[in-house]
Amino acid sequence: MKKRFNHTKRLPTLPKINWKLFVTFIILILTVSLLIKCVPKYISGGESKVGYIVLDKSEVPQKIQEILPRYRMLERALAAKIEDEVYVIVTRGEKLTAGYAVDIKNIQVLKDNEDEKLVVQVLFKDPDPDALVAQVLSYPFVVAKTNLKDLPKKIDLEVKYGE
């Protein structure tokens, strides 16, 4: 009589999984990850701060110094790209006395429908009404070098007045 040997090996059994609970858990993790990634953009409105350095009058590039007289009579913000660097220029217009100043407080890029716009927030300072100031025409302006790579299509100037 011949003996038969059973050569089939049994594989270890895996624990039973509640597949509905497992799939629900995976969907929950993916949903939370997506919310963490996307919600801050919607809350902020798609805005991002722009890094900038305010330049001293002696550091302003020659090309900006050449075009500045065309815009110094206007109260506005504009941008210029010179040698792959984007500069933001804010002019205050013509003033009849000295003592006026312009300070950039913040520069940010906002999503406006499908376009992006650059918002420049500035503080305009006026001389004290009782101060003795020189009676000369002045053209306050400020130039900032930014970390932007491209010129914005639209620029908004937001002005606050202070001392």
Percentage of the chain lying above the pLDDT 70 cut = 87
Question: Do 80 and 89 meet the contact criterion of CB atoms below 8 Å apart?
Answer: yes
Per-residue pLDDT for 57 more than 80? yes
- Tell me the pLDDT of the chain averaged across its residues: 87
- The pLDDT of residue 157 is 94
Strand order in the sheet with 52-54: 52-54, 141-146, 85-92, 75-82
* pTM (predicted TM-score): 0.69
Which residue in 91, 85, 86 sits closest to 104, CA to CA? 91
What are the start-end ranges of the H helices in 45-158? Answer: 62-71
The pLDDT of 8-31, averaged and rounded, is: 83
What tens digit of pLDDT does each residue of 58-93 get? 999 999 999 999 998 999 999 999 999 999 999 999
122 CB-near residues (< 8 Å, 6+ apart): 77, 90, 102, 103, 104, 105, 142, 157, 158, 159, 160
Burial class of residue 109 in the structure, from the number of CB atoms within 10 Å of its CB (0-12 exposed, 13-18 middle, 19+ buried): middle
The rounded distance, in Å, linking the Cα atoms of 89 and 153 is 15
Are 140 and 102 a contacting pair, CB within 8 Å? yes
- Mean pLDDT to the nearest integer, 31-56: 78
Q: Report whether pLDDT(140) > 90.
A: yes
